[in-house]
Amino acid sequence: MARRKKGSDEPSTEADQGKDAGKVGYKIFASVGAAVGTTVARKVLNAGWRTATGKEPPSNPEHPDVQWGEAISWVMASAAVVAAAKLIAQRRIASTWQRASGTLPPGLDEPDR
């Protein structure tokens, strides 16, 4: 029994099913890459904080005993480092996908220039 395209009476082709599998594969690949990138970023961030301040990073910056300056610094540093790590991981994954398949990853359009 042939599968049908969403919103269509036409049966889906093997190419359509391959695209769907590619999308799922890329999403899994990208999710794992982002998780690994985030984990590495947190370890680097913690080590950098200890080196820069000489003490452990705040485990809970919301706690009233944590100084405002320390809490804000930690939040800003962690947000920037984790966001940058995720971006780096996603770009590397997209680049690898493009080299391997010859096409951009599913859902990634050409940038507006």
CA–CA distances in Å: residue 42 to residues 39, 83, 86: 5, 11, 11
The winner for highest mean pLDDT among 12-21, 35-44, 68-77 is: 68-77
Helix and strand counts by DSSP (H, E) for the chain: 2, 0
Looking at every residue in the chain, the average pLDDT score rounds to 83
Whether the predicted model's global pTM rises above the 0.85 cut: no
* pLDDT surpassing 60 at residue 77: yes
Encoded tokens for 24: 């799922």
Phi/psi of residue 11, nearest 5 degrees: -65, 145
* pLDDT surpassing 80 at residue 111: no
